Amino acid sequence: MKFLWYQILSNIGAIDDLGFWGMGLRHIQKDFFNNMLAYWPDRKQQENIINFLDSKTSQLSKTIAADKKLIELLKEKRTALINHVVTKGLNPKAKMRDSGIKWIGKVLEEWEVKKLKYSCLINKKTLGEETSNQLQINYLDISNVNNMGSIVSTDELYFEDAPSRARRVPEQKDTIISTVRTYLKAIAYLDKVPLNLIVSTGFAVLHPNNKTMPKYLFYMTSSENFIQKVIADSTGVAYPAINPSDLGQIKIFLPPYSEQIQISEYLDKATSKIDQTIQNIEKKIELLEEYKKSLIHHVVTGKVDVRDISVW
């Protein structure tokens, strides 16, 4: 039975190609297994193949699991770094004072604590009803943003084909933060805005004022303290949400502008190093997964002879 399992794994690509959608689920064609061609050696060779693959795939799986754990630790380090710097600054000897706000705690003496709405405009521009149906847009929904502040993709379509929530008009250097399903932590800094970018009304678009450094606003609103406050102030069970006016009432730390620049530049460098390390590990995992599939296929089909190979 174990050899049959490896046979199926070796044909996983064909299984996926023959799958079809129905009732919202992906199914396998019922005749696939009956028609699947299989390499079927004698029992002794089957045992050799099983022992070899058990050993090798176990080693690969352990390596992949360790790398995935390392990625999670790096993400935690990234989160902790942002949270520390936007609340404590870069000078460990700087004097602190009590902010008077329980969830904020202590703040540096020279830093202001003010409501978010006093540091930025929220939802500055929205598409009106007169918008042409033939307007080509790049639409950004919550699912297009990951929890590390990166835009994964946008959808190119005509306005008439876009969902009704395609309304918010952001600008260069704005920050967008999800106000629905806030636990997803979909927050992004719009460094390079595509032509005709329109974001979902599930986002609040934060346009910094002249006292707020754009990138600092992004780091401040993506800090764990701020996110947890947003989640705590959200209502609803299945789709917890916060309305933009309540979002604007949340208080943030605001250092002098020059210090905002220093913090932003420091975090840009530090987080980019962590992000690059994560990308390298993810690429390694992808290669190991591909090698694992290839190894199973080549051993099961006899392209790699393991009869005389010892398994340690």
Q: Is residue 101 part of a domain?
A: no
Identify the CA nearest to 211 among candidates 159, 256, 150, 274.
Answer: 256
Same domain, 159 and 246: yes
Q: For residue 261, with 0-12 CB atoms within 10 Å meaning exposed, 13-18 middle and 19 or more buried, which class applies?
A: middle
Q: What angle is formed at CA 190 by the lines to CA 263 and CA 159, rounded to 5 degrees? A: 165
Q: Is residue 99 part of a domain?
A: no
Q: Which of 254, 274, 289 represents a domain boundary (last residue)?
A: 254
235-251 per-position pLDDT tens digit:
988 889 999 999 999 99
Domain CATH code at residue 208: 3.90.220.20
Q: What is the pLDDT of residue 5?
A: 65
H or E segment to which residue 227 belongs: helix 224-232
> Which residues have C-beta within 8 Å of that of residue 195, sequence separation ≥ 6?
138
Gap between the terminal Cα atoms of the chain: 23
Q: Is residue 23 part of a domain?
A: yes
Same domain, 201 and 294: no
173: left (phi over 0), alpha (psi -120 to 50) or beta: left
Same domain, 122 and 237: yes
How many domains, the chain? 2
Same domain, 217 and 292: no
Q: CA 138, CA 287: separation in Å to the nearest integer?
A: 32
The model scores a pTM over 0.85: no
Identify the CA nearest to 150 among candidates 308, 279, 250.
Answer: 279
Q: Is residue 122 part of a domain?
A: yes
Q: CA 53, CA 311: separation in Å to the nearest integer?
A: 9
96-154 per-position pLDDT tens digit:
888 777 777 788 888 999 999 999 999 999 998 889 999 999 999 998 998 778 888 88
Torsion of CA 247, 253, 259, 262, to 10 degrees: -60
Q: Is residue 5 part of a domain?
A: yes
Same domain, 276 and 293: yes
Query: Per-residue b/e over 212-221, b at no fewer than 16 CB within 10 Å?
Result: bbbbbbbbbb
Same domain, 27 and 87: yes
Q: Which of 239, 254, 269 represents a domain boundary (last residue)?
A: 254
Q: Is residue 217 part of a domain?
A: yes
H or E segment to which residue 176 belongs: strand 175-178
Domain CATH code at residue 3: 1.10.287.1120
Q: Which domain holds residue 186?
A: 112-254
Q: Is residue 292 part of a domain?
A: yes
Per-residue pLDDT tens digits of the chain, which is 312 residues long: 676 666 666 665 544 555 444 445 555 555 655 665 556 666 777 777 778 888 888 999 999 999 999 999 999 999 999 999 998 899 888 888 887 777 777 888 889 999 999 999 999 999 988 899 999 999 999 989 987 788 888 899 999 999 999 999 999 999 999 999 888 889 999 988 888 999 999 999 999 999 999 999 999 999 998 999 999 999 988 889 999 999 999 999 899 999 999 999 999 999 999 999 999 999 999 999 999 988 888 887 777 776 665 544
Q: Is residue 107 part of a domain?
A: no
Amino acid 112 reads: E
Q: CA 137, CA 104: separation in Å to the nearest integer?
A: 39
